[in-house]
Amino acid sequence: MKVFSNSETFDYSWEEVSTANWRKYCPWNEKSTHVIAVDTLSRHVDAETGILRTERLITCKQSAPKWLASLMGGTDVSHVFETSYVDPESKKVTMVSQNLTWSNILSCQEKVVYQPLSATKTQFVQEAKVTALCGGWQKVKNAVEEATVCRFSENARLGKEGFETVLEMSRRVFSEEKLKQKKQTESVAL
């Protein structure tokens, strides 16, 4: 098993980050192009705790190294299952995900937490555990794990850059929307 961990700070409030997080993989994000679709499978608010629980299916298409792709059966489209929990009271977003494709040879478990550092700063902590399950030589398993962790760190860097653009665009659109609403109420008042 190999562990990949990463933490980032975003100069946006937790409310802004947790909202923009729902559209992290929209066309504004030109960096995370390996994510081609995000579908919501189920969603509900827990009556007791007020926690919003969401299940999503994330579809990726990416070029794995050739030797790894052939080991995986030649397909380049993969699916990830994600369960997320938003606790608005303690201001915490937790996202847990697991690969669905190739799960008989490789297990990738990722956990992401967004929590406020201050009123204008939000911390992102990511941890991924990669385990090659294929029987056989330890050397092969190590290489599979190594290549996956390498891709994780590459995607993490691009993910941060891409998400920054989404945050910036969200803030701009939000303030434009607010201005529009203000103008509308003003014209109604007149």
Partner 1 sequence: MSASLAPECNEVKERYDSCFLKWYSEKYLRGKGTTDECSALFKDYKHCLTSALKERGIDKMLEDAREDHKENDAANMRRGCEYVDIFSRLLLTSIEQNGTINLDSGIGTALGGFTRLKM
Contact residues toward partner 1 (CB under 8 A) are 1, 3, 5, 7, 15, 18-19, 22-23, 25-27, 35-41, 43-47, 49-53, 55, 57, 59, 79, 81, 83, 85-90, 94, 96, 98, 100-101, 103, 113, 115, 123, 125, 129, 174
Minimum Å distance from CB 81 to partner 1?
4
Instruction: State which residue, 50 or 65, has the beta carbon closest to partner 1.
Output: 50
Q: Which is nearer to partner 1, 47 or 189 (CB)?
A: 47
CB of 190 vs partner 1, minimal distance in Å: 25
Q: Minimum Å distance from CB 105 to partner 1?
A: 14
d(CA 117, CA 103): 35
Nearer to partner 1 by Cβ, of 67 and 174: the residue is 174
CB of 166 to partner 1, least distance (A): 11
What is the Cα–Cα distance from 83 to 152, expressed in whole angstroms?
19
H helical segments located in 113-137: none
Of the pair 86, 106, the CB lying nearest partner 1 is at 86
Residue nearer to partner 1 on the CB measure, 65 or 178: 178
The per-residue b/e assignment along 142-180, b for 16 or more CB within 10 angstroms, e otherwise, is: ebbbebbbebbeebbebbbebbbebbebbeeeeeeeeee
The tally of CA atoms less than 13 A away on the side-chain side of residue 146 is 7
Amino acid (one-letter) located at 44: H
CB of 107 to partner 1, least distance (A): 10
138: left (phi over 0), alpha (psi -120 to 50) or beta: alpha
